[in-house]
């Protein structure tokens, strides 16, 4: 990112948008439909941890493809709330894939692209593994991203608030243990 610091991309968001599980399902199915339209059938799916795990697993189930691997890229040191991030100056690759990817068709999945730096880093890394083809999918693409994925569920200009990240706030609530314990007790009856 020669011209902008990472935080500048996050500040471009116009408010936030609450994402529901129904939204996630719809965007995932849209991606799968676009892949089928293009006749793209990956040999393996590579998820970017953490938030890419969820859409990657959903796409994996839709395609009936159990070849799901994880790459971990750390851009934010901590996530405070929503798009409030303690960002590094650039992302770092902290978990790689050990198996050979030579001559394979790969689908890389993440939840969104903001600046595009994470997907640029993964693209450079995967190129060293000599795959036949790599395509990229994200649930949400922000128009200012410097990386354009092959597939996306929807283009947005607001910061997405994902349903799986809501658990973080529930777990911080001191009453959560009672709520969770009560739910577990009721489910066993």
Q: What pLDDT does 174 receive?
A: 54
Does residue 33 sit within a domain? yes
Q: What pLDDT does 80 receive?
A: 53
What digits encode the pLDDT tens for the residues 114-125?
Answer: 889 899 999 999
Does residue 56 sit within a domain? yes
Does residue 22 sit within a domain? yes
Residue 171 — very low, low, confident or very high, per pLDDT cuts 50/70/90?
low
The answer on pLDDT for 85 being more than 60 is: no
The answer on pLDDT for 183 being more than 60 is: no
Q: What pLDDT does 125 receive?
A: 96
In the beta sheet, which residues pair with residue 113? 141
Q: Which is more confidently placed, 64 or 169?
A: 64
Count of domains forming the chain: 1
Average pLDDT over residues 110-134: 95
Measuring CA to CA, how many Å separate 6 from each of 89, 91, 101, 113, 115? 7, 10, 30, 12, 7
The answer on pLDDT for 11 being more than 60 is: yes
Residue 30 class from Cβ within 10 Å (0-12 exposed, 13-18 middle, 19+ buried)? middle
The whole model's pTM is what? 0.81
Does residue 183 sit within a domain? no
Segments forming the whole domain that contains residue 59: 6-163
Cβ proximity of 140 and 119 under 8 Å: no
What rounded mean pLDDT belongs to the chain? 84
Cβ proximity of 160 and 17 under 8 Å: yes
Which pair of tokens denotes residue 116?
Answer: 């595009």
Does residue 177 sit within a domain? no
Angle at 176 between CA 172 and CA 182, to 5 degrees: 165
Give long-range contacts, CB 8 A cutoff, 24+ apart: 32-41: 32/59, 32/62, 32/63, 34/151, 35/63, 35/107, 35/135, 35/137, 35/151, 38/150, 40/105, 40/107, 40/135, 40/150, 41/105
Q: What pLDDT does 122 receive?
A: 95
The answer on pLDDT for 184 being more than 80 is: no
Average pLDDT over residues 82-110: 81
Tell me whether the omega of the peptide bond preceding residue 50 falls within 30 degrees of 0, making it cis.
yes
Which CATH number characterizes residue 98's domain? Answer: 3.40.50.2020
Q: Which is more confidently placed, 105 or 159?
A: 105
Average pLDDT over residues 6-15: 78
In the beta sheet, which residues pair with residue 141? 113, 155
The answer on pLDDT for 44 being more than 80 is: yes
Residue 73 — very low, low, confident or very high, per pLDDT cuts 50/70/90?
confident
Does residue 172 sit within a domain? no
Which ranges of the chain does DSSP label H, i.e. alpha helix? 6-10, 21-37, 53-63, 117-127, 166-172, 176-188
Phi and psi at residue 88, in whole multiples of 5°?
-75, 170
Question: How far is the C-alpha of 46 from the C-alpha of 50, rounded, in Å?
Answer: 12
Does residue 181 sit within a domain? no
Does residue 168 sit within a domain? no
Q: Which is more confidently placed, 140 or 91?
A: 140
């Amino acid at each position: 990112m020669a011209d902008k610091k990472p935080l500048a991309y996050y500040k471009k968001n116009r408010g936030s948008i609450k994402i529901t599980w129904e939204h996630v399902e719809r965007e995932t199915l849209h991606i799968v439909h676009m892949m089928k339209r293009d006749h793209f059938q990956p040999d393996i799916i590579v998820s970017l941890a953490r938030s890419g795990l969820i859409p990657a697993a959903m796409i994996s189930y839709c395609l009936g493809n159990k070849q799901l691997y994880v790459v971990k890229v750390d851009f934010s040191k901590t996530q405070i709330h929503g798009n409030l991030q303690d960002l590094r100056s650039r992302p770092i690759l902290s978990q790689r894939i050990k198996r050979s990817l030579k001559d394979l068709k790969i689908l890389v999945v993440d939840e969104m692209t903001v600046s595009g730096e994470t997907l640029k880093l993964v693209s450079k890394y995967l190129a060293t593994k000599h795959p036949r083809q790599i395509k990229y999918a994200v649930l949400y693409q922000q128009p200012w991203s410097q990386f354009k994925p092959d597939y996306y569920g929807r283009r947005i200009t607001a910061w997405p608030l994902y349903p799986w990240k809501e658990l973080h706030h529930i777990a911080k609530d001191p009453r959560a243990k009672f709520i969770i314990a009560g739910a577990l007790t009721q489910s066993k009856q």
